[in-house]
Amino acid sequence: MPKGGSKMEKLKAFGKINLALDVLGKRPDGYHEVRMIMQTIGIYDRLFMEESEGEEVLIESNLSLLPCDENNLVYKAAKLLMNEFGIRRGLKVKLEKQIPVAAGLAGGSSDAAATLVGVNRIFDLGLSKEELMERGVKIGADVPYCVMRGTALSEGIGEKLTPLDPVPGDVHVVLAKIPVSVSTARVYGGLKPEDIKERPDIDGMIKAIGDGDIRGIASAMGNVLETVTIPMYPRLAEIKKAFMDEGALGSLMSGSGPTVFGLFDDIKKARKAYRNIKVMEPSAQVFLTRMLNSYG
Protein backbone atom coordinates (compact mmCIF):
# COMPACT_ATOMS: atom_id res chain seq x y z
CA MET A 1 0.00 0.00 0.00
CA PRO A 2 1.15 3.59 -0.58
CA LYS A 3 2.23 5.78 2.33
CA GLY A 4 -0.44 6.57 4.87
CA GLY A 5 -2.66 3.72 3.65
CA SER A 6 -4.05 5.72 0.73
CA LYS A 7 -5.83 3.80 -1.97
CA MET A 8 -4.30 2.82 -5.29
CA GLU A 9 -5.92 1.50 -8.46
CA LYS A 10 -4.28 -0.13 -11.48
CA LEU A 11 -6.45 -0.06 -14.59
CA LYS A 12 -6.26 -1.02 -18.26
CA ALA A 13 -7.79 1.38 -20.77
CA PHE A 14 -8.58 -0.68 -23.88
CA GLY A 15 -8.75 0.69 -27.39
CA LYS A 16 -11.64 0.24 -29.82
CA ILE A 17 -12.24 -0.14 -33.51
CA ASN A 18 -15.32 0.73 -35.54
CA LEU A 19 -16.60 -2.30 -37.41
CA ALA A 20 -19.05 0.08 -39.08
CA LEU A 21 -19.45 3.86 -39.05
CA ASP A 22 -22.25 5.77 -40.74
CA VAL A 23 -23.01 9.50 -40.45
CA LEU A 24 -26.71 10.25 -40.78
CA GLY A 25 -26.53 14.04 -40.77
CA LYS A 26 -25.54 17.17 -38.89
CA ARG A 27 -27.57 18.36 -35.91
CA PRO A 28 -28.47 21.99 -35.15
CA ASP A 29 -25.93 21.97 -32.28
CA GLY A 30 -23.10 21.20 -34.70
CA TYR A 31 -22.66 17.57 -33.70
CA HIS A 32 -23.14 14.79 -36.22
CA GLU A 33 -25.73 12.05 -35.84
CA VAL A 34 -23.98 8.70 -36.19
CA ARG A 35 -24.73 4.99 -36.26
CA MET A 36 -21.76 2.77 -35.49
CA ILE A 37 -20.74 -0.70 -34.37
CA MET A 38 -18.02 -0.38 -31.73
CA GLN A 39 -15.68 -3.18 -30.66
CA THR A 40 -13.11 -3.38 -27.87
CA ILE A 41 -9.67 -4.70 -28.85
CA GLY A 42 -6.78 -6.00 -26.80
CA ILE A 43 -4.33 -3.09 -26.99
CA TYR A 44 -4.43 -0.86 -23.94
CA ASP A 45 -2.94 1.95 -21.90
CA ARG A 46 -2.17 1.45 -18.21
CA LEU A 47 -3.20 3.87 -15.48
CA PHE A 48 -1.76 3.79 -11.96
CA MET A 49 -3.91 5.99 -9.75
CA GLU A 50 -3.23 6.93 -6.14
CA GLU A 51 -4.84 9.22 -3.60
CA SER A 52 -2.37 11.91 -2.54
CA GLU A 53 -2.02 14.89 -0.23
CA GLY A 54 -3.30 18.31 -1.24
CA GLU A 55 -6.09 18.88 -3.72
CA GLU A 56 -4.25 18.70 -7.05
CA VAL A 57 -4.65 16.19 -9.87
CA LEU A 58 -1.11 15.38 -10.95
CA ILE A 59 -0.48 13.43 -14.15
CA GLU A 60 2.74 11.99 -15.50
CA SER A 61 3.07 10.09 -18.76
CA ASN A 62 5.66 8.13 -20.70
CA LEU A 63 4.70 10.17 -23.78
CA SER A 64 6.36 13.58 -23.76
CA LEU A 65 4.05 15.11 -26.40
CA LEU A 66 0.98 14.44 -24.25
CA PRO A 67 -0.30 17.35 -22.13
CA CYS A 68 -0.39 16.54 -18.42
CA ASP A 69 -2.61 19.47 -17.40
CA GLU A 70 -6.27 20.40 -17.75
CA ASN A 71 -6.06 19.66 -21.49
CA ASN A 72 -5.67 15.94 -20.77
CA LEU A 73 -8.91 13.92 -20.72
CA VAL A 74 -7.65 12.07 -17.64
CA TYR A 75 -7.51 15.37 -15.77
CA LYS A 76 -10.97 16.36 -17.02
CA ALA A 77 -12.47 13.02 -15.98
CA ALA A 78 -10.93 13.14 -12.51
CA LYS A 79 -12.00 16.74 -11.92
CA LEU A 80 -15.52 16.04 -13.17
CA LEU A 81 -16.17 13.56 -10.37
CA MET A 82 -14.03 15.23 -7.71
CA ASN A 83 -15.78 18.58 -8.19
CA GLU A 84 -19.25 17.01 -8.28
CA PHE A 85 -18.69 15.15 -5.00
CA GLY A 86 -16.69 17.89 -3.29
CA ILE A 87 -13.57 15.77 -2.87
CA ARG A 88 -10.85 17.85 -1.23
CA ARG A 89 -8.04 15.37 -1.64
CA GLY A 90 -5.39 14.94 -4.28
CA LEU A 91 -4.85 12.37 -7.00
CA LYS A 92 -1.70 11.16 -8.75
CA VAL A 93 -2.03 9.41 -12.08
CA LYS A 94 0.77 7.67 -13.95
CA LEU A 95 -0.33 7.09 -17.53
CA GLU A 96 1.55 4.55 -19.66
CA LYS A 97 0.46 5.05 -23.26
CA GLN A 98 0.51 2.17 -25.72
CA ILE A 99 -2.52 3.05 -27.85
CA PRO A 100 -1.39 5.45 -30.60
CA VAL A 101 -2.51 9.06 -30.15
CA ALA A 102 -4.96 10.62 -32.65
CA ALA A 103 -5.43 7.26 -34.31
CA GLY A 104 -9.18 6.64 -34.36
CA LEU A 105 -8.83 4.05 -31.57
CA ALA A 106 -10.37 6.09 -28.71
CA GLY A 107 -7.18 6.05 -26.63
CA GLY A 108 -7.90 9.36 -24.90
CA SER A 109 -11.55 8.48 -24.35
CA SER A 110 -10.60 5.11 -22.90
CA ASP A 111 -8.10 6.77 -20.54
CA ALA A 112 -10.90 9.10 -19.39
CA ALA A 113 -13.26 6.16 -18.90
CA ALA A 114 -10.67 4.28 -16.82
CA THR A 115 -10.13 7.43 -14.76
CA LEU A 116 -13.85 7.65 -13.97
CA VAL A 117 -13.76 4.03 -12.82
CA GLY A 118 -10.62 4.60 -10.74
CA VAL A 119 -11.83 7.79 -9.05
CA ASN A 120 -15.14 6.08 -8.28
CA ARG A 121 -13.28 3.26 -6.52
CA ILE A 122 -10.59 5.29 -4.77
CA PHE A 123 -13.01 7.77 -3.21
CA ASP A 124 -15.84 5.24 -2.62
CA LEU A 125 -18.39 7.22 -4.64
CA GLY A 126 -20.61 4.20 -5.20
CA LEU A 127 -21.55 5.07 -8.78
CA SER A 128 -22.82 2.31 -11.06
CA LYS A 129 -21.42 1.69 -14.53
CA GLU A 130 -24.51 3.37 -15.99
CA GLU A 131 -24.00 6.44 -13.79
CA LEU A 132 -20.37 6.68 -14.88
CA MET A 133 -21.47 6.42 -18.52
CA GLU A 134 -23.96 9.28 -18.02
CA ARG A 135 -21.15 11.49 -16.74
CA GLY A 136 -18.67 10.32 -19.35
CA VAL A 137 -20.56 11.92 -22.23
CA LYS A 138 -19.72 15.33 -20.74
CA ILE A 139 -16.07 14.57 -21.51
CA GLY A 140 -16.44 13.03 -24.95
CA ALA A 141 -18.90 11.09 -27.12
CA ASP A 142 -16.83 7.87 -27.01
CA VAL A 143 -16.30 7.88 -23.24
CA PRO A 144 -19.59 6.14 -22.28
CA TYR A 145 -18.77 3.30 -24.68
CA CYS A 146 -15.25 3.01 -23.24
CA VAL A 147 -16.77 2.60 -19.78
CA MET A 148 -19.10 -0.12 -21.09
CA ARG A 149 -16.77 -1.96 -23.52
CA GLY A 150 -17.51 -5.04 -25.61
CA THR A 151 -19.57 -5.03 -28.81
CA ALA A 152 -22.20 -2.30 -29.09
CA LEU A 153 -24.43 -0.33 -31.42
CA SER A 154 -23.70 3.37 -30.91
CA GLU A 155 -26.20 6.04 -31.97
CA GLY A 156 -26.95 9.73 -31.42
CA ILE A 157 -23.59 11.47 -31.11
CA GLY A 158 -22.22 8.15 -29.83
CA GLU A 159 -23.81 8.23 -26.38
CA LYS A 160 -26.83 6.01 -27.11
CA LEU A 161 -25.48 2.51 -26.64
CA THR A 162 -27.07 -0.89 -27.16
CA PRO A 163 -24.96 -3.90 -26.10
CA LEU A 164 -24.74 -6.61 -28.76
CA ASP A 165 -23.86 -10.28 -28.57
CA PRO A 166 -20.11 -10.97 -28.26
CA VAL A 167 -18.28 -11.42 -31.56
CA PRO A 168 -16.73 -14.85 -32.19
CA GLY A 169 -13.70 -15.35 -29.96
CA ASP A 170 -11.30 -16.49 -32.68
CA VAL A 171 -11.10 -13.19 -34.58
CA HIS A 172 -7.60 -11.73 -34.90
CA VAL A 173 -7.02 -8.05 -35.63
CA VAL A 174 -3.94 -6.51 -37.25
CA LEU A 175 -3.73 -2.71 -37.07
CA ALA A 176 -1.43 -0.23 -38.78
CA LYS A 177 -1.22 3.45 -37.88
CA ILE A 178 0.90 5.59 -40.19
CA PRO A 179 2.74 8.55 -38.58
CA VAL A 180 0.20 11.27 -39.31
CA SER A 181 -2.35 12.92 -37.04
CA VAL A 182 -5.89 13.30 -38.29
CA SER A 183 -8.23 15.98 -36.96
CA THR A 184 -11.60 14.39 -36.25
CA ALA A 185 -13.28 17.80 -36.54
CA ARG A 186 -11.68 18.37 -39.94
CA VAL A 187 -12.78 14.96 -41.21
CA TYR A 188 -16.38 15.38 -40.08
CA GLY A 189 -16.35 18.93 -41.43
CA GLY A 190 -15.16 17.69 -44.81
CA LEU A 191 -17.79 14.98 -45.14
CA LYS A 192 -19.96 15.46 -48.24
CA PRO A 193 -23.09 13.31 -48.58
CA GLU A 194 -22.72 13.28 -52.36
CA ASP A 195 -19.32 11.56 -52.02
CA ILE A 196 -20.81 8.64 -50.09
CA LYS A 197 -21.51 5.94 -52.68
CA GLU A 198 -21.76 3.03 -50.25
CA ARG A 199 -22.86 2.86 -46.64
CA PRO A 200 -22.15 0.09 -44.14
CA ASP A 201 -24.87 -2.54 -43.70
CA ILE A 202 -25.26 -2.01 -39.97
CA ASP A 203 -28.49 -3.99 -39.61
CA GLY A 204 -26.90 -6.84 -41.56
CA MET A 205 -23.87 -6.69 -39.29
CA ILE A 206 -26.04 -6.83 -36.16
CA LYS A 207 -27.65 -10.02 -37.52
CA ALA A 208 -24.24 -11.48 -38.41
CA ILE A 209 -22.96 -10.71 -34.91
CA GLY A 210 -26.01 -12.45 -33.43
CA ASP A 211 -25.37 -15.45 -35.70
CA GLY A 212 -21.65 -15.55 -34.80
CA ASP A 213 -20.88 -15.17 -38.51
CA ILE A 214 -17.48 -13.49 -38.83
CA ARG A 215 -17.58 -13.52 -42.64
CA GLY A 216 -20.97 -11.84 -42.52
CA ILE A 217 -19.57 -9.25 -40.13
CA ALA A 218 -16.63 -8.57 -42.44
CA SER A 219 -18.81 -8.28 -45.56
CA ALA A 220 -21.03 -5.67 -43.84
CA MET A 221 -18.14 -3.43 -42.73
CA GLY A 222 -17.90 0.15 -43.92
CA ASN A 223 -16.86 3.62 -42.78
CA VAL A 224 -18.18 6.70 -44.58
CA LEU A 225 -15.35 8.83 -43.14
CA GLU A 226 -12.97 7.04 -45.47
CA THR A 227 -14.36 9.31 -48.21
CA VAL A 228 -12.59 12.21 -46.48
CA THR A 229 -9.49 10.72 -44.84
CA ILE A 230 -8.28 8.40 -47.61
CA PRO A 231 -8.10 11.16 -50.27
CA MET A 232 -5.99 13.10 -47.75
CA TYR A 233 -3.73 10.07 -47.16
CA PRO A 234 -3.93 7.72 -50.19
CA ARG A 235 -1.45 5.37 -48.51
CA LEU A 236 -4.33 4.13 -46.35
CA ALA A 237 -6.01 2.59 -49.42
CA GLU A 238 -2.78 0.76 -50.21
CA ILE A 239 -2.60 -0.63 -46.68
CA LYS A 240 -6.23 -1.78 -46.90
CA LYS A 241 -5.43 -3.57 -50.16
CA ALA A 242 -2.34 -5.15 -48.57
CA PHE A 243 -4.47 -6.54 -45.74
CA MET A 244 -6.89 -8.07 -48.23
CA ASP A 245 -4.00 -9.51 -50.25
CA GLU A 246 -2.76 -11.13 -47.04
CA GLY A 247 -6.05 -12.97 -46.62
CA ALA A 248 -8.03 -10.62 -44.37
CA LEU A 249 -11.78 -11.22 -44.32
CA GLY A 250 -12.21 -7.45 -44.39
CA SER A 251 -10.22 -4.26 -43.92
CA LEU A 252 -11.38 -0.85 -42.74
CA MET A 253 -10.25 2.48 -41.34
CA SER A 254 -11.21 2.97 -37.69
CA GLY A 255 -12.97 6.18 -36.69
CA SER A 256 -11.67 9.22 -38.53
CA GLY A 257 -8.34 7.44 -39.05
CA PRO A 258 -5.57 7.09 -39.82
CA THR A 259 -5.46 3.56 -38.36
CA VAL A 260 -6.42 0.77 -40.76
CA PHE A 261 -7.12 -2.76 -39.58
CA GLY A 262 -7.68 -6.20 -41.06
CA LEU A 263 -9.79 -9.00 -39.60
CA PHE A 264 -8.49 -12.57 -39.79
CA ASP A 265 -9.95 -15.92 -38.78
CA ASP A 266 -6.55 -17.64 -39.18
CA ILE A 267 -3.73 -16.78 -36.75
CA LYS A 268 -1.04 -17.82 -39.23
CA LYS A 269 -2.38 -15.41 -41.84
CA ALA A 270 -2.67 -12.70 -39.18
CA ARG A 271 0.94 -13.17 -38.08
CA LYS A 272 2.16 -13.13 -41.69
CA ALA A 273 0.18 -9.95 -42.37
CA TYR A 274 1.62 -8.37 -39.22
CA ARG A 275 5.18 -9.12 -40.35
CA ASN A 276 4.63 -8.02 -43.95
CA ILE A 277 2.84 -4.78 -43.06
CA LYS A 278 5.72 -3.88 -40.74
CA VAL A 279 8.11 -4.31 -43.67
CA MET A 280 5.79 -2.43 -46.04
CA GLU A 281 5.29 0.44 -43.56
CA PRO A 282 8.47 0.65 -41.43
CA SER A 283 7.42 3.98 -39.90
CA ALA A 284 3.94 2.73 -38.91
CA GLN A 285 2.84 1.42 -35.53
CA VAL A 286 1.65 -2.12 -36.19
CA PHE A 287 -0.21 -4.35 -33.73
CA LEU A 288 -1.52 -7.92 -33.67
CA THR A 289 -4.33 -8.39 -31.18
CA ARG A 290 -7.84 -9.78 -30.75
CA MET A 291 -11.36 -8.55 -30.18
CA LEU A 292 -12.31 -8.51 -26.50
CA ASN A 293 -15.68 -9.06 -24.89
CA SER A 294 -14.65 -9.38 -21.25
CA TYR A 295 -15.06 -6.54 -18.78
CA GLY A 296 -12.15 -7.32 -16.45
Look up 142 and say whether it is catalytic: yes
Q: Which of 22, 45, 111, 142 is labelled catalytic? A: 142
Q: Which of 16, 76, 92, 97 is labelled catalytic? A: 16
The CA-atom distances, in angstroms, between 238 and each of 176, 230, 264, 268 are 12, 10, 18, 22
The CA-atom distances, in angstroms, between 82 and each of 51, 55, 95, 248 are 12, 10, 19, 45
Q: What is the DSSP string of the chain?
A: --GGG--EEEEEEEEEEEEEEEEEEE-TTSPEEEEEEEEEEEEEEEEEEEEESSS-EEEEES-TTS--STTSHHHHHHHHHHHHTT--SEEEEEEE--SPTTSSS-HHHHHHHHHHHHHHHHTT----HHHHHHHHTTT-TTHHHHHH-SEEEEEETTTEEEE-PPPPTT-EEEEEE-S----HHHHHHT--GGG------HHHHHHHHHHT-HHHHHHT-EETTHHHHHHH-THHHHHHHHHHHTT-SEEEE-TTSS-EEEEES-HHHHHHHHHHHHHH-TTSEEEEEEB-----
Q: How many other CB atoms sit within 10 Å of the CB of residue 252?
A: 23
Give 43's Cβ-side CA count (13 Å radius): 23
Look up 16 and say whether it is catalytic: yes
Query: Please, which residues have CB within 8 angstroms of residue 1's CB and are 6 or more apart in sequence?
Result: 8
Residues annotated as part of the active site: 16, 142
